[in-house]
Amino acid sequence: NRTQPKLGDLIEISRFGYEHWAIYVGNGYVVHLAPPSEVAGAGVSSIMSIVAERAIVKKELLSVVAGGDKYRINNKHDDKYDPLPLNKIVKEAEKMVGKEVPYSLTSDNCEHFVNALRYGVSRSDQVCPQPVSPSL
């Protein structure tokens, strides 16, 4: 039994080997970064999400993005930063849908993206556990 997310909530999805992040925009939908190679609704970890240099902002059902993976609401920086007004968070997220944006595991990942939308601060606590082989 999962708690229903509220507008602007950050959603942390546990993938194999990393966490994927999305922001809740209402009616069961989230906005998130997806590498261009990721098929909508794949719901599985993709090495492309780690090595891609570009990502597409997508709006999809949370149930589709999470697939069979566990997820939770995690507004973990609310104690450090004041969230922006909810209508602004949702409006900005919706404006980004369909855009292609730079993607980097260390400086422009899905966690940076959702934190910038919620707090106006781009940050990620996620660390790549081991280097990704360039041959992949």
Looking up tokens 């939908």 gives 29
- Cβ atoms of 35 and 55 within 8 Å: the answer is yes
Q: Which residues are tagged catalytic?
A: 20, 32, 110
